[in-house]
Chain A
Amino acid sequence: MVSADSDLPSPAPSPAEPRRPAYVDDAVTRSAKLLVAGSFGVGKTTFISSVSEIRPLCTEAPMTTLSIGTDRLDGLDGKRTTTVAMDFGRITLLPRTAPPIVLYLFGTPGQQRFWNVWQGHGLASGAAGALVLVDTRRLGDSFEVLDQLETRVPDLPIAVAVNVFPDSPPHALATVHRKLDLLPHTPITSCVATRRDSSRDALVTLVEHALARSLEGGAS
């Protein structure tokens, strides 16, 4: 398994003194946010790690909704109160024609039962776009994530990136686009989430799409 994904809740942190965080450059005047969505194990944490300038962090958010349905990896079934890990990363961008911007990437499992938590924390609102990572070995796992995004945040620009694993069968991107029943304008690309340049290029694809959508009036 090249691309581990740590959507699992991490053990309860010990009550210790606060860590001294790596501060944002004081020249930064604004922040922006992109979501990195995808099903469990698809490589979100790996993707965020490869481009983030800080160690990806997990903020525990309380999740008190009853876990309905099962999730084979998390072992949460039957618990009424638990926490959900929220991975995020940070990139300080230095555009030539604008002041520095800090871009945050938030890893979002995207399953229905997480949305109340995300929406409660303002995770989706204010995002410039969502990159949906998919694994062609289990494309079906991506449907719920895509459905949730299209239903809950219909105006959010979406791009899909196929995370290429060493044993992924070769697929034409057009075929994956069709199998996922994506909207015609939704871009699809491939990436190797362990590689920084590759992850960066996938983010470029997403932001290019968001800009195009914005210039055409924001209609989906």
Chain B
Amino acid sequence: MTDHPGPPGTGDPPEETHRRPVRPYVITRGRSQPTRNTLRPETLLIATDPDRRLPPSAAVEQRRFLDVCRGLLSLSEAAEALRLPISVAAVVASDLVDAGHLTLRSNPPSSASDPTLLRALLDGLRRL
């Protein structure tokens, strides 16, 4: 499998990286995967401290992302507000979480079938 080299230093890229528009991956410095896999479209995010400044080296997308996340918002909504593909937004958010600028208000893992959650959803829906 030497006829299919990826860009230097990226190992074996998934086939979908071919012909991908370039610009969003400049934002993510070439990465297509966030450093954590707990970020989902519905994951709630909020700036840890809206007054805390990013370092001067921070990318403009990181600044914008943090600015949009002054209030509680899901990853999908932040991506849409910034007009970023959700996969790109996940990478930007992940970096901000790692650096302590962004906080996840996340769900316990594997909670989607938790009867307590489902009962609460049901009650909430019936009260709409």
B72 surroundings in chain A (CB, below 8 A): 23-26, 28
Q: What does the 1/0 interface line of A18-58 toward B look like (CB < 8 Å)?
A: 11110111101111110000000000000000010010011
Given contacts A23-B72, A204-B122, A207-B121, contact A32 B42 (CB under 8 A): yes
Which of B39, B76, B121 has the most chain A CB within a 10 Å cutoff?
Answer: B121
Interface size on A, residues (CB 8 A): 68
Interface residues in B5-28 by Cβ distance below 8 A to A read 16-21, 24
Complex alpha-carbon distance, A215 and B124, angstroms? 19
A28 surroundings in chain B (CB, below 8 A): 44, 72, 105
Do A211 and B118 have beta carbons less than 8 Å apart? yes
The verdict on A127 contacting chain B, using a C-beta distance below 8 Å, is: yes
Complex alpha-carbon distance, A157 and B123, angstroms? 18
Q: Which of A125, A200, A210, A215 contacts B40 (CB 8 A)?
A: A125
Do B120 and A97 have beta carbons less than 8 Å apart? yes
Stretch at the interface among A79-87, A136-144, A173-181, A182-190: A79-87
Do B86 and A121 have beta carbons less than 8 Å apart? yes
Do B125 and A200 have beta carbons less than 8 Å apart? yes
The verdict on A8 contacting chain B, using a C-beta distance below 8 Å, is: no
Do A102 and B44 have beta carbons less than 8 Å apart? yes
Do A57 and B113 have beta carbons less than 8 Å apart? no
Do A98 and B116 have beta carbons less than 8 Å apart? yes
| Interface residues on chain B, size class | 35 or more
The verdict on B4 contacting chain A, using a C-beta distance below 8 Å, is: no
Complex alpha-carbon distance, A79 and B121, angstroms? 41
Do B107 and A126 have beta carbons less than 8 Å apart? yes
Given contacts A64-B19, A200-B128, contact A29 B68 (CB under 8 A): no
B100 to chain A, nearest CB (A): 20
Do A93 and B121 have beta carbons less than 8 Å apart? yes
Q: Which of A24, A90, A207, A208 contacts B71 (CB 8 A)?
A: A24
Interface residues in A146-187 by Cβ distance below 8 A to B read 155, 157
B44 surroundings in chain A (CB, below 8 A): 24, 28, 30-31, 102
A13 surroundings in chain B (CB, below 8 A): 83
B73 surroundings in chain A (CB, below 8 A): 21, 23-24
In the complex, residue of chain A having the shortest beta-carbon distance to the beta carbon of B90? A121
Complex alpha-carbon distance, A98 and B117, angstroms? 9
Residues of A within 8 A of B (CB): 13, 15-16, 18-21, 23-26, 28-33, 51, 54, 57-62, 64-65, 80-81, 83, 86, 88, 90-91, 93-98, 101-104, 106, 116, 120-123, 125-128, 155, 157, 196, 200, 203-204, 207-208, 210-211, 213-215, 218
A-B contact pairs, 9 of them (CB 8 A): A26-B71, A31-B107, A102-B74, A121-B87, A123-B41, A126-B111, A157-B113, A211-B115, A214-B118
Enumerate the 3 nearest inter-chain pairs by beta-carbon distance, A residue then B residue, closest first: A93-B124, A23-B71, A98-B120
Residues of B within 8 A of A (CB): 16-21, 24, 37, 39-44, 64, 67-68, 70-74, 76-83, 85-87, 90, 105, 107, 111-128
**Beyond A18-B82, A128-B118, 16 extra complex contacts between A and B, CB < 8 Å:** A24-B72, A29-B105, A31-B105, A59-B76, A62-B24, A83-B85, A93-B124, A96-B123, A104-B42, A123-B40, A127-B112, A128-B117, A203-B125, A204-B126, A210-B113, A211-B115
